[in-house]
Structure 1
Amino acid sequence: MSVSVDPVPTPAERLAAEAVFGDRLPLAERYVKHLATSGMERGLLGPREVPRLWGRHVLNCAVVAGLIPEGAEVADVGSGAGLPGLTFAIARPDLTVTLIEPLERRCIWLSEVVDDLGLDNVTVYRSRAEQAVAQIDVDVVTARAVSALSTLAGLTIPLLHGKGEVLAIKGRSAAEEVEKAHKAIRKLGGRHTEVVTVGADTLEEPTTVVRIRVGQD
């Protein structure tokens, strides 16, 4: 059954979206419409998330793009509905983004959205992260809601091939996860790990990110 939903951002979310996406806000709006319709219909997110798409999902991810160096090559592990990878590609056309996703139905949806938005800086790559290491070599690896950091480190750090950084969007348990994953991160080549918050000047609830630098002391 077709669903017609057009999530409207609150005034505060609208201001934040304008600040983050600038003149590419219409693309972000189209992406949100895809999430709220075909994304929900195909099970990429639940109906309860639709009213919260702007604040809890799209803007929560998009503000993290500010941590990424200009012109960087980025891989989004377990991309799912394109969060955070597609928000980065929309907000930052200077980035080259690879969405790594193992499930075919999700890859099909991602490809449809990328084509509809006309994003020429995005590649959809069907694979498990651990199987993509030989083909993917990027500057930054991102992930959101994939797994605990102790497991996620092994899925993300190898894609940097010894140099770059991981930006993992996490919740309130971020510091605890870092402590538990410390040895695994060091063993994989992580040289500096910190918990940072972004979006405090634009979002009601800032985004928590675990930032792991690899190959840099």
Structure 2
Amino acid sequence: MVASADVTGTIGSAEEALSDRLDGSDLPRQLLGDAYPRLSIFHDKLLREGVLKGIIGPRDQEILWERHILNSAAILPFIEEALNEGAQDSVADLGSGGGFPGIIIASCLHEAHITLIEPMERRVQWLSEVIDDLKLDNVTILRSRAEDLVDQPTGQRPGHKASDKQRHASAARHTQYQVLTCRAVAPMRKLAPMALPLILPGGRLVALKGKSAPQELEKAKQVIAKSHGINSQVFEAPVGDGLEPTHVVVVEKRK
């Protein structure tokens, strides 16, 4: 499920007072495979800096692996299926925030190109640091709101390569993606008209959702259809043995 990562070890170590319930467990390594070294670096950075920088809440420190990293990884099979059936290997993470699920996707699916769409400057800076720390070369950061991307005409969407020092600068580019992901961005009735215009015909929206996903989807049927979405489904996605599963909403974009 994951591609190999040419990264070993971690950057520093978290303070001894901070720990994660799954520290010392083999489960993250088993589930993440060759991506584990990279995501261990990400985990340690979150543990050290996440609360201070407003990326996670204090209560999340003990459950970083489960709530944020492994929960995000549960979306991978749905993304891989969508990429296998499409003509492109482009993935965008809408409202990437602290990097969930975009950083996890980029670490695990290293052959795909991942665009992290995030409007807030301080989070763009955080994502830029994470990309450097994890030595990810398959990621672009696009500083923008989804609404602005939808409203802009062809050829006027800002984007930039994350490897240079101007990651938060704008450059003109028009892009649609084979797969668009998101986590905790908006209810489906608001998400569909933001997300589906950014997806290639035949591509898919793959959204991590909570237990209310079926109700959200039911309320959003008309707006999904109006936004050219078809074949909407909710799946229960396993996170790991002994861990609570999550839910994934998949919507296809009409060709």
TM-score in same-fold range (> 0.5): yes
Unaligned ranges ≥5, structure 1: none
The residue type paired with residue 72 of structure 1 is D
- 1:80 aligned to which of 76, 94, 97: 97
Kindly indicate whether the alpha-carbon contact (under 8 Å) linking 1:13 and 1:203 is maintained by their aligned counterparts in 2. Answer: no
Please give the per-residue CA displacement for 1:116-169, whole angstroms capped at 9, x wherever unaligned.
110001111100012224433110001111111100111111101433000111
Match in the other structure for 1:38: 49
Write the distance in 1 (CA, Å) between the matches of 2:47 and 2:240.
27
Q: Which of 151, 154, 169 is the equivalent residue of 2:208?
A: 169
2:237, 2:119 → 1: CA distance? 29
When residues 120 and 202 of structure 1 are mapped into structure 2, their CA distance, relative to the original with a 3 A threshold, is: farther
> In the TM superposition, what is the alpha-carbon distance from 1:203 to its structure 2 partner?
5.6
| CA 1:209–1:88: 2 relative to 1, 3 Å | same
Over the aligned positions, Cα root-mean-square deviation in angstroms equals: 2.0
Aligned to 1:57: 68
Question: Does the residue aligned with 2:91 lie in a helix, a strand or coil?
Answer: strand
Inter-CA distance 200–61: structure 2 relative to 1 (3 Å threshold): closer
Q: Deviations over 1:81-102 (max 9, x none)?
A: 0001111111111221100000
Report what 1:214 is aligned to.
253
Residue in 2 that maps onto 1:28: 39
Aligned-pair distance for 1:201?
Answer: 5.8
Q: What's the offset of the Cα at 1:9?
A: 4.9
Letter in 2 for 1:127: S
The superposition leaves residues 36-95 of structure 1 with CA deviations (integer Å, 9 ceiling, x where unpaired) of 222221111111111111111110011211111257211101100000111111111122
Match of residue 26 from structure 2: 14
Count of residue pairs the alignment pairs up? 213
Q: Judging changes above 3 Å, is the alpha-carbon distance between structure 1 residues 31 and 90 closer, same or farther for their aligned structure 2 residues?
A: same
Note if 1:106 corresponds to 2:123. yes
Instruction: Say if 1:61 and 1:84, in contact at 8 Å, map to a contact too.
Output: yes
Rate the CA distance shift 1:201–1:96 in 2: closer, same or farther, 3 A: same
Instruction: Please give the alpha-carbon distance, in whole angstroms, between the structure 2 residues aligned to 1:62 and 1:52.
Output: 15
Structure 2 residues not aligned, in runs of 5+: 1-13, 155-173
CA contact (8 A) 2:113 2:138 kept: yes
1:39/1:201 CA distance change after superposition, 3 Å: closer
Q: Distance in 1 between matches of 2:20 and 2:62?
A: 8
What secondary structure sits across from 1:132 in the alignment? helix
Larger radius of gyration: 2
Distance 1:41 1:66 in 2: 33
| TM-score, reference length from structure 1 | 0.90
- Once residues 128 and 248 of structure 2 are traced to their aligned partners in structure 1, the CA distance between those partners, rounded to angstroms, is 27
The structure whose residues are more often helix, as a share, is 1
CA offset at residue 18 of structure 1? 2.3
The SS at the match of 2:97 is: coil
Matched to 2:247, the amino acid is T
In structure 2, what residue type is equivalent to 1:100?
Answer: I
Structure 1's consecutive aligned runs of 4 or more residues displaced over 4 angstroms after TM superposition are 200-203
2 CA distance for matches of 1:130 and 1:19? 38
8 A contact 2:20–2:63 mirrored in 1 = no
User: Aligned AA for 1:97?
Assistant: I
